[in-house]
Amino acid sequence: MTVAVFTLDDLRRILIGVAGADEDIDLGGDSADTPFTDLGFDSLALLETAAAVSREYGVTLDDDAVTAVTTPRGFVGLVNDAA
């Protein structure tokens, strides 16, 4: 299944599931442009998130591209570009 539009809410749900993010994490507003490191996520968490996206949505993401993404908005864009 290919995803029509991957959203910040989709990313939030997956981060909670695979990276142990706090369920109260807000990725909307200014947080969408906050660096993942400031939100408490490292490159391993992003790679695990990318693997979950691949399993759930059938979207393959390049590891180098995933680790180069610095913000939630950038990650969402990466997924949508690959879809």
Write the pLDDT tens digit of every residue in 5-58: 899 999 999 988 887 767 777 777 788 999 999 988 899 999 999 999 999 999
Radius of gyration of the chain (CA): 11
Match 């990725």 to its residue by tokens. Answer: 27
Helical (H) or strand (E) element with 44: helix 43-57
Residue 37 sits in a domain whose CATH number is: 1.10.1200.10
Q: Answer whether residue 3 is part of any domain.
A: no
Q: Answer whether residue 18 is part of any domain.
A: yes
Q: Answer whether residue 1 is part of any domain.
A: no
Give the range of the structural domain holding residue 77, as residue numbers without chain letter. 8-82
Q: Record the pTM.
A: 0.87
